[in-house]
Amino acid sequence: MITKYEFEVLYLAYNNDFKNQRHAADTLGYSLGTINNTVADLVDKGLIDKNNAITINGEKALEPFAVENAVIMAAGMSSRFAPLSFEKPKGLLNVKGEILIERQIRQLQEKGINDITVVLGYMKEKFFYLEQKYGVNLVVNADYYRYNNTSTLMKVLKKLGNTYICSSDNYFAINVFNSHEYKAVYPVQKHSVSEDGEYYASFNKQKLITNVTIGKGEYCMVGHVYYDREFSKGFATLLTKEFEKLETKTKLWEKVYVEHLDQFTMYAREYSPLDILEFDSLAELQEFDNYYINNTDSKILHNIMDVLECEVQDIKDIVAIKDGLTNTSFKFTVRDKNYIYRHPGVGTDSYINRKAEAFAQRVAKEQELDDSFIFMDEEEGWKLSYFIDDAHTLDYHNDEEVTIALSRIKALHDLKLPGDFEFDIWAKTHDFIDAISERGRDDFQDFDDLLEKMTRVYKLTEADKFDKILCHCDFYDPNILFKNSKMYLIDWEYAGVDDPGVDIGTFIACSDYSMEEAFDILEKYEGRPMSKERLQHFIAYVAIASYYWFIWAIFQESNGALVGEYLYIWYRYSYKYADKALELYGE
């Protein structure tokens, strides 16, 4: 086995780039003495001749180090790169006249690396053409939206050997790939300022990585990475074992490597900040590629330009906001004013009526329940609003805020506004039951018992013959904002005509109130003690709302969105308030 020094000098000769010892020393970053000793050893072993040309034996010595293949990870959404990544995968951006992932594929193929596998997920169909155009292999990671890139590596474990692992959204200004590599290696760039979330490597004189810290350091790990066979074998074994844990599924593969650093040999290779680039925002892309300063293919940006009557260069300070299970949004600034753009989530049109939302949103603005609203496209589902700076969500235990919120929703209910669109919480509950049944998620022991109990409760409320009126239908703390004492009731996407109990039921179902506190809330809403008939009706709707959100949560988790503890809370409240309602009804 040749040494690292011998490999690097031999590889220079293999590429006909060994001009002389001084040139080799400057190119490789070693002392002239080290290069002279290495050359002498290579000549003695018959791997290069006295003219520094590689011999047949030298070529054979390089064979174990030949790169076998490459994996390009292209499954993720890259949500930080809003809004362009909302419309197409980041790897398909055209940067300085080239598609990012196509540039990578060509650079790999230039080095003789033709066995290339692209792992897809988000908008996967947009990448399919690569198979015909470049002869690459395509693999789909169906878990891309709920797990991290460890799940992508799990899809290609059998491909790992002497393998490059690449990210589709990197731009390599130079060809960073080699036909041969000595050992596992990760590119690094020297940073003057550390960035949160970035990985920083420490290494010895031989560039062997000895430690990695997150969020603090000098040499930032960037771009692609190379696994040699030894690294691939060990890491595949480790990842297979660790991936059984949910916490591993949500980690970057680099985090798993860092946690077991002492088990692996990996070197650092320094690059200029101009050699490997990753664009984390539209502003960074505009700085690199002037085309994006005055032009864009983004329909989202054109929507903003049309509504706000601005130019693309006026849209600044874009920041993605992960604020919901159903949509993606981003904040931005135009002419010193802050706005928020809501982009409808994939598949939400199957259970959200955007025409109903647009109608309700206009009513909310008229009634001064949400004067942050600017415009909504009821066909496509996108919405533009003012961003409410320095606002906070309702505190369920702030008596003043709760009183204001309940009085405002009661005022809306008292208007008894009609509408053209029904919400119908019970019908929607059954729609979700059908959906989770198809996926086998209704197979738990008391499913039928709970459904039977909730059906009894719902029939009792229908017999009360309450008017069906315009309701918010998602009335709980994240959608109730306060700035000073002014309240904003936002996110009307579930709004429609239904029983007013839907709003109050949801409000209580999403709280940590005790039963006694729930009774107090109903009195605050009513403005006086509730009659027995209204009390039993609204308590029943806490149960109905809890059950609806419980079934909805199962549906969301069947799609990979983690709802968390609310799923159990809504299950428990379904029983708790259903039993109380039946008691109040005298059943």
CATH number of the domain encompassing residue 168: 3.90.550.10
Choose the weakest-confidence range: 127-141, 218-232, 515-529, 554-568.
Answer: 554-568
Q: Is the pLDDT of residue 324 over 60?
A: no
User: Do 130 and 180 reside in the same domain of the chain?
Assistant: yes
Query: Which residue, 57, 30, 62, is CA-closest to 46?
Result: 57
Choose the weakest-confidence range: 276-285, 287-296, 454-463, 533-542.
Answer: 287-296
Domain assignment of residue 191, given as a range: 66-278
Which distant-in-sequence residues (6+ apart) come within 8 Å of 458 by Cβ?
A: 426, 540, 544
- The verdict on residue 421 lying in a domain is yes
User: Do 117 and 183 reside in the same domain of the chain?
Assistant: yes
Q: What percent of the chain has pLDDT over 90?
A: 80
Q: Which of 32, 64, 96 is the last residue of a domain?
A: 64
Q: Is the pLDDT of residue 485 over 90?
A: no
Q: What percent of the chain has pLDDT over 70?
A: 98
- The verdict on residue 532 lying in a domain is yes
Local confidence band at 346 (pLDDT 50, 70, 90 cut-offs) = low
SS3 98: strand
What is the signed CA dihedral for 391, 393, 398, 401, rounded to 10 degrees?
A: 70
Q: Which of 48, 64, 80 is the last residue of a domain?
A: 64
Encode pLDDT of 561-578 as tens digits: 778 898 999 999 999 999
Q: Is the pLDDT of residue 455 over 90?
A: yes
Local confidence band at 325 (pLDDT 50, 70, 90 cut-offs) = low
Local confidence band at 525 (pLDDT 50, 70, 90 cut-offs) = very high
Q: What angle do CA 512, 517, 520 make, to 5 degrees?
A: 140
- The verdict on residue 287 lying in a domain is no
Q: Is the pLDDT of residue 334 over 80?
A: yes
pLDDT at residue 518, as a whole number? 97
pLDDT at residue 273, as a whole number? 93
Q: Is the pLDDT of residue 105 over 90?
A: yes
Average confidence (pLDDT) over 380-402: 95
User: Do 410 and 529 reside in the same domain of the chain?
Assistant: yes
Encode pLDDT of 168-193 as tens digits: 999 999 999 999 999 999 999 999 99
Cβ atoms 224, 167 nearer than 8 A? yes
Output 509 or 344, whichever has higher pLDDT. Answer: 509
Q: Can you give the pTM of this predicted structure?
A: 0.79
User: Do 399 and 546 reside in the same domain of the chain?
Assistant: yes
User: Do 60 and 70 reside in the same domain of the chain?
Assistant: no
Local confidence band at 290 (pLDDT 50, 70, 90 cut-offs) = confident
Three-state secondary structure of 213-229: EECCCCEEECCCEEECH
Q: Is the pLDDT of residue 403 over 80?
A: yes
Peptide bond into 83 cis (omega under 30): yes
- The verdict on residue 58 lying in a domain is yes
Average confidence (pLDDT) over 52-77: 95
Output 322 or 474, whichever has higher pLDDT. Answer: 474
Encode pLDDT of 210-240 as tens digits: 999 999 999 999 999 999 999 999 999 999 9
Q: Which of 368, 387, 406 is the last residue of a domain?
A: 387
Choose the weakest-confidence range: 296-310, 349-363, 401-415, 441-455.
Answer: 349-363
User: Do 60 and 73 reside in the same domain of the chain?
Assistant: no
pLDDT at residue 557, as a whole number? 86
User: Do 259 and 309 reside in the same domain of the chain?
Assistant: no
pLDDT at residue 326, as a whole number? 61
Local confidence band at 81 (pLDDT 50, 70, 90 cut-offs) = confident
User: Do 340 and 481 reside in the same domain of the chain?
Assistant: no
Q: What is the mean pLDDT of the chain?
A: 93
Q: Is the pLDDT of residue 545 over 90?
A: yes
User: Do 361 and 404 reside in the same domain of the chain?
Assistant: no
Q: Is the pLDDT of residue 347 over 70?
A: no
pLDDT at residue 561, as a whole number? 72
User: Do 374 and 429 reside in the same domain of the chain?
Assistant: no
Query: Count of domains in the chain?
Result: 4
- The verdict on residue 288 lying in a domain is no
Q: Is the pLDDT of residue 58 over 70?
A: yes
CATH number of the domain encompassing residue 319: 3.30.200.20
Three-state secondary structure of 490-548: CCCCCCEEECCHHHHHHHHHCCCCCHHHHHHHHHHHHCCCCCHHHHHHHHHHHHHHHHH
pLDDT at residue 82, as a whole number? 84
Cβ atoms 369, 408 nearer than 8 A? yes
Three-state secondary structure of 408-455: HHHHHHHHCCCCCCECCHHHHHHHHHHHHHHCCCCCCCCHHHHHHHHH
pLDDT at residue 322, as a whole number? 64
User: Do 451 and 310 reside in the same domain of the chain?
Assistant: no
pLDDT at residue 1, as a whole number? 84
pLDDT at residue 291, as a whole number? 85
- The verdict on residue 527 lying in a domain is yes
User: Do 272 and 309 reside in the same domain of the chain?
Assistant: no
pLDDT at residue 283, as a whole number? 85
Output 546 or 442, whichever has higher pLDDT. Answer: 546
